[in-house]
């Protein structure tokens, strides 16, 4: 928050050191732990250590303290309430009143941009969601979709240029099975309302019939052969039905408020993937064991001369010469850089079970001399489970459909909202149900470490008093109603320049401290690809606001205080809205 002050001070320190022959090492600034008073701190150990290395006869700790004291003596306390030199550190404390006001002013000036970072000039691609066409969009895809969307929002806000990529699986045995099942049992039918659900049902039926009667596999192989020969009837049917799935996904993404900039499809990567494999064989990186009935493989560890098992051996082409998942990913990786040559990073948000797969794909490309592979990375996440330990990605029976989950979320949220505020009109209730329902679905996923399982349960997700979306949304609504109540009152019209010269209540200082942390938390969340950090600060702000709300009268306070506090409430409302936006959660005005 106080970059300007920090820079001014740093310039002063540099000037002083130059004038006094001190070879100043790079300064590192850290906020002082908040203790009712804000401050920043830096140390001179690196400078003293460098002097010692140059052969000066000094004790590093003692010399660091000496420099800190000299600088303290030189600096005017201007802008600071006090300056300390302790144990080699220089601690600068801000005037609490001025700082409080500065934080609140900054939020209200920057509004929707408060917390955002300066443009980094770096372009980053995040591939996420990647459901399979001709199958249901089940909740197993939900975590990746929600997490990916939030990571994109955070990176964008933090100053990166983000490319949102999707990679639906649109060809493979599952698609062939579907086409077979459709032709045999549903020929001529078209999906109506719930496209994705219907697509999933056709697929599930095909699987079931094949299981009951394995003889039918011959027919499926027949469809595969027709596809391989690009039989026009099959190709046309595939194109048409694929479009149905994609339309279903688009509806789903609209419902979830998620968007993409570019779509890749595995069907397009098959041929270029095989070409890469040919290149790998020619250059001696892959060994072609097809003549002996084997596959095409890359013994990565052996190739790199590693004794310990690390990258292992990857299969890059089947023995019958057909493409594998890995074959296609080799091509996709390069395809992305072909389309976006300036990518600083190309990241794949895929569940943890595929870690080895991505490590291998990137390593093989690197070995083959594709330097861009070093810019690639896998962000992994764990699965989601429902109560009763139903894993939401299994194939039969236990699959929970996203449409159903969304519907349930909305109706449960509606019931809660009605209980809480019976005065809501039908229109209000509808939009509250949507906002709260979606928040309840997204927040538990985002508020969890990517690498830990999420166990989803409605009670926690819809808790208005615990660490949950409705609690944060409700804080936003409370801020809104305080501000509304105060409007039209002449006293508040000039609240924009109030001096904060009353004694600040610890609860309001606490709240302001939370607001001031938001910009740093955005940067941290972006650096670590962790929406969890934003989910936590949003909750901490809401909690600090509850403390403030209990301890500090606003509308009832005397005019001077009332004006300052209204500004604090407005700044809180804004920061809550900004943080919820990064989570892809709506901040309602009423609920
Ligand atoms: N569609 C795949 C699945 O459902 C995930 C694709 C992940 N992305 C990739 N580039 N391989 O498992």
- Who contacts 450 (Cβ-Cβ below 8 Å, separation ≥6)? 147, 379, 380, 381, 382, 529, 530, 532
What string of pLDDT tens digits covers the 591 residues of the chain?
767 788 889 999 999 999 999 999 999 999 898 888 899 999 999 999 999 999 989 999 999 999 999 999 988 767 789 999 999 999 999 989 888 998 999 999 999 999 999 999 999 999 999 999 999 887 778 899 999 999 999 999 999 999 999 999 999 999 999 999 999 999 999 998 888 889 989 999 999 999 999 999 999 999 999 999 999 999 999 999 999 999 999 999 999 999 999 999 999 999 999 999 999 999 999 999 999 999 999 999 999 999 999 999 999 999 999 999 999 999 999 999 999 999 999 999 999 999 999 999 999 999 999 999 999 999 999 887 766 544 444 344 455 677 778 888 999 999 999 999 999 999 999 999 999 999 999 999 999 998 888 877 888 889 999 999 999 999 999 999 999 998 755 555 455 555 677 899 999 999 999 999 999 999 999 999 999 999 999 999 999 999 999 999 999 998 888 888 999 999 999 999 999 999 999 999 999
**pTM of this prediction?**
0.92
Does 200 contact ligand 1 (Cβ within 6 A)? Answer: no
Q: Is the CB of 124 under 6 A from ligand 1?
A: no
**Domains located in the chain, CATH noted:** 3-94 (3.30.1360.70), 123-266+330-385 (3.40.50.620), 404-582 (1.10.730.10)
| Pairing label, strands 343-351, 123-127 | parallel
What is the C-alpha to C-alpha distance for residues 315 and 299, in angstroms, rounded to an integer? 9
Angle of CA points 401, 404, 410, to nearest 5°: 140
Instruction: With beta carbons less than 8 A apart as the criterion, state whether 300 and 363 touch.
Output: yes
Question: Which run of H or E residues covers position 90?
Answer: strand 89-94
Neighbours of 589 (CB within 10 A): 17
Q: Which residue do the tokens 């606003």 mark? A: 554
148 Cα to the center of ligand 1, angstroms: 13
Q: What count of other Cβ atoms lies within 10 Å of the Cβ of residue 239? A: 10
247 C-beta neighbours (distance < 10 Å), count:
13
- Helix or strand (DSSP H, E) at 7: helix 3-19
Distance CA 90, CA 64 (A): 10
**Among candidate residues 244, 246, 248, 226, the one with its CA nearest the CA of residue 235:** 226
- The chain-wide mean pLDDT, for the chain, equals 92
Burial zone of 498 (CB within 10 Å; 0-12 exposed, 13-18 middle, 19+ buried): buried
Is residue 348 lining ligand 1, measured as CB closer than 6 Å?
Answer: yes
Q: Is 306 helix (H, G, I), strand (E, B) or coil?
A: coil
Q: Determine whether the shortest distance from the Cβ of 137 to ligand 1 is under 6 A.
A: no
Q: Report how far ligand 1's centroid is from the alpha carbon of 317 (Å).
A: 17
CA distance 177 to 186: 13
Reported as type and span, the H/E element at residue 341 is none
> Hey, what are 95's tokens?
């005037």
Q: Can you tell me the distance from the alpha carbon of 547 to that of 13, in angstroms, rounded to the nearest whole number?
A: 40
d(CA 409, ligand 1 centre) in Å:
27
**Residue 534 Cα to ligand 1 middle (Å):** 27
Classified as helix, coil or strand, 454 is: strand
Q: Is the CB of 130 under 6 A from ligand 1?
A: yes
CB atoms < 10 A from the CB of 119, how many? Answer: 10
The residue whose two tokens read 């299981």 is: 211
Q: Give the Å distance between the CA of 271 and the centre of ligand 1.
A: 18
């Amino acid at each position: 928050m106080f970059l300007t002050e920090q820079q001014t001070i740093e310039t002063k320190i540099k000037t002083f050191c130059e004038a006094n022959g001190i070879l100043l090492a790079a300064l590192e600034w850290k906020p002082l732990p908040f203790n009712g008073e804000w401050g920043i701190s830096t140390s001179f150990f690196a400078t003293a250590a460098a002097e010692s290395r140059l052969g000066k006869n000094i004790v590093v700790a003692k010399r660091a303290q000496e420099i800190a004291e000299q600088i303290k003596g030189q600096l005017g306390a201007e802008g600071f309430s006090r300056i300390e030199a302790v144990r080699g550190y220089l601690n600068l404390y801000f005037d609490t009143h001025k700082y409080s006001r500065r934080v609140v002013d900054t939020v209200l000036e920057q509004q929707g941009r408060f917390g955002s970072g300066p443009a980094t000039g770096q372009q980053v691609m995040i591939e996420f969601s990647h459901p399979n066409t001709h199958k249901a969009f089940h909740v197993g895809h939900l975590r990746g979709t929600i997490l990916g969307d939030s990571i994109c929002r955070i990176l964008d806000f933090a100053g990166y240029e983000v490319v949102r990529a999707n990679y639906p699986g649109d060809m493979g045995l599952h698609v062939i099975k579907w086409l077979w099942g459709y032709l045999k049992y549903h020929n001529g039918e078209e999906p109506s309302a719930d496209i994705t659900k219907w697509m999933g049902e056709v697929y599930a039926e095909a699987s079931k019939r094949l299981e009951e009667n394995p003889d039918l596999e011959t027919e499926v192989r027949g469809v595969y052969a027709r596809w391989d020969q690009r039989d026009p009837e099959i190709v046309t049917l595939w194109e048409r039905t694929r479009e149905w799935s994609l339309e279903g996904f688009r509806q789903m993404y609209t419902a979830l408020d998620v968007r993409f900039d570019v779509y890749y499809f595995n069907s397009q990567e098959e041929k270029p993937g095989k070409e890469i494999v040919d290149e790998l064989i020619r250059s001696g990186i892959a060994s072609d064991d097809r003549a002996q009935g084997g596959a095409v493989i890359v013994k990565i560890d052996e190739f790199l001369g590693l004794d310990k098992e690390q990258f292992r051996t990857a299969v890059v082409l089947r023995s019958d010469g057909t493409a594998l998942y890995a074959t296609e990913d080799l091509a996709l990786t390069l395809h992305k850089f072909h389309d976006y040559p300036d990518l600083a990073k190309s990241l794949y948000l895929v569940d943890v079970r595929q870690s080895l797969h991505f490590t291998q794909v990137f390593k093989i490309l690197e070995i083959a001399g594709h330097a861009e592979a070093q810019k690639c990375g896998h962000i992994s996440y764990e699965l989601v489970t429902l109560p009763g330990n139903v894993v939401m990605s299994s194939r039969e029976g236990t699959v929970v459909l996203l449409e159903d989950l969304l519907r349930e979320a909305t109706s449960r949220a509606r019931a809660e909202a009605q209980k809480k505020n019976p005065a809501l009109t039908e229109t209000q209730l509808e939009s509250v149900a949507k906002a709260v329902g979606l928040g309840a679905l997204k927040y538990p996923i985002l508020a969890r470490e990517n690498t830990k399982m999420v166990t989803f349960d409605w009670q926690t997700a819809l808790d208005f008093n615990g660490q949950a979306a409705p609690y944060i949304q409700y804080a936003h609504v409370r801020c809104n109603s305080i501000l509304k109540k105060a409007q039209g009152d002449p006293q508040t019209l000039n609240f924009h320049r109030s001096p904060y010269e009353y004694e600040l209540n610890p609860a309001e200082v606490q709240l302001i401290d939370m607001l001031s942390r938001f910009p740093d938390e955005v940067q941290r969340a972006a650096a670590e690809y962790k929406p969890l950090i934003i989910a936590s600060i949003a909750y901490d702000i809401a909690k600090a606001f509850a403390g403030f709300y209990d301890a500090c009268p606003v509308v009832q306070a005397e005019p001077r205080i009332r004006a300052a506090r209204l500004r604090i409430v407005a700044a809180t409302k804004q920061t809550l809205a900004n943080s919820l936006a990064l989570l892809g959660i709506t901040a309602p005005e009423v609920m």
